[in-house]
A = this chain, B = another copy of it.
Amino acid sequence: MSKATIYDVARVANVSIKTVSRVLNGEPKASAETRARVMEAARSLNYTPSLSARALSGSRSFLIALVSSGGVSDNAMLYVTELQMGAIQACRAGGYHLLTEYIDLGASDFTALTETLVSTLRVDGVILIPPLCDDPQLLSLLAQRGVTCVRISPTLDGSAEEKWGWGVDIDNYQAAFQMTRHLIDQGHRDIGFIQGHPKHAAAAQREAGYRDALFDGGPIPDRLIQPGLFTFDSGLSAARALLEQPRRPTAIFAANDSMAMAVLSVAYKMGIPVPSALSVAGIDDLPAASVVCPPLTTVRQPVMEMGAAAARFIIDRTAGQVGSYLKKVFDHSLVVRESTAPPT
């Protein structure tokens, strides 16, 4: 009942521990018969190898770290849960385990974090979440130490890409472009935009998509664009700035759902009915997006799949399969709900 070791398995299967190790790791040199015998012994003993021992002696640790920053309170970071769930799933499938680390962006000690990840934990890879995934200091520390990184929604900087690891993302430009087109198709011309956090690469891409869809790259009246930080609170101010104008837009497209919900909230307070007098759209499809009133039109990203892909990349790479070291772009989809409608 208590912990079975590789020795027990070897004894039962009547082979050396090395052979057990080989079979369990799927190494080639083992006859089918031996393989079966070992597997059976392992099963009967309910044996699971010790991660610590494997990590200590071998070159893999079977550990992946998901590093996040930023407070929970920040609605914008809510998709971390979903990402994590995807990563966990992929880890299970590959015999890996997911560690979650947190770093305070304020008093951040990247050196200590790196040391922990590399020396203490010896992780096989790290999944980085924005805005961490775009911090050159952290990235170069990790690169120096040879850590495999996967960046979620990283900047588009091509040259850095190769140096700093693989990335997963959606096509933020296209997502914003399509959403803007959706509003235009409905008949909107006066479409306000709330920008994302200037440090998030996705923010600029989304704004570009909006600009190009609305004015094909031409100048857009300043009054239509308000700064935001991807947070609900920042969305509140931006929404007010947009809605208190004498000639207010008939639609507002926020660079993410948190801010779009802020628009909903301000409109509600000001007595502006949505969507009849104002259409509102966001990006992300947060869990909350479907439960607010009215349900939010937004762009859904396959966050869980992205998390799974990130973990899988690290696992494959550690197992020797050299990944293509590029960025994988996932498909997004427009989710049209009730917050958008033709202007009346």
Interface residues of A (CB under 8 A from B): 1-4, 46-53, 55-56, 61, 71-73, 75, 78, 80-82, 84-85, 88-89, 92, 97-102, 111, 115-116, 118-122, 144-145, 232, 258, 261-262, 264-265, 268, 287-288, 290-295, 304
In whole angstroms, what is the CA distance A181 to B145 when docked? 59
A144: chain B residues within 8 A (beta carbon): 1
Q: Taking A48-B116, A291-B292 as contacts, is the C-beta distance between A92 and B102 under 8 angstroms?
A: yes
* B287 lies within 8 A of A120 (CB): no
The 6 closest A-B pairs by CB, nearest first: A288-B288, A52-B55, A268-B293, A52-B52, A48-B119, A52-B56
* B291 lies within 8 A of A261 (CB): yes
- Please pick, from B81, B290, B294, the residue contacting A81 in the complex, using a CB distance under 8 A: B81
A4: chain B residues within 8 A (beta carbon): 119
- Chain B residue with the shortest CB-CB distance to A58: B52
Copies in the complex: 2
* B97 lies within 8 A of A121 (CB): yes
* B291 lies within 8 A of A49 (CB): no
A53: chain B residues within 8 A (beta carbon): 52, 56
Known: A84-B100, A99-B100. 7 other contacts (CB 8 A): A47-B119, A50-B122, A51-B52, A52-B56, A53-B56, A88-B102, A261-B292
In whole angstroms, what is the CA distance A1 to B1 when docked? 43
A and B contact pairs by CB, cutoff 8 A, 10 listed: A3-B119, A51-B52, A52-B56, A75-B287, A78-B287, A84-B100, A92-B102, A98-B101, A288-B291, A288-B292
Q: A192 to nearest B CB, angstroms?
A: 19
A61: chain B residues within 8 A (beta carbon): 52
- Chain B residue with the shortest CB-CB distance to A47: B119
In whole angstroms, what is the CA distance A258 to B288 when docked? 9
In whole angstroms, what is the CA distance A233 to B47 when docked? 42
Most B C-beta atoms less than 10 A away, residue of A56, A120, A268: A120
A51: chain B residues within 8 A (beta carbon): 52, 120-122
Q: A213 to nearest B CB, angstroms?
A: 27
Q: A62 to nearest B CB, angstroms?
A: 9
* A85 lies within 8 A of B102 (CB): yes
Q: Taking A88-B100, A291-B288 as contacts, is the C-beta distance between A80 and B78 under 8 angstroms?
A: no
A47: chain B residues within 8 A (beta carbon): 119
A55: chain B residues within 8 A (beta carbon): 52
Q: A263 to nearest B CB, angstroms?
A: 11
A73: chain B residues within 8 A (beta carbon): 287
Q: A267 to nearest B CB, angstroms?
A: 8
Q: A50 to nearest B CB, angstroms?
A: 6
Most B C-beta atoms less than 10 A away, residue of A82, A287, A290: A287
- Chain B residue with the shortest CB-CB distance to A56: B52
In whole angstroms, what is the CA distance A336 to B13 when docked? 66
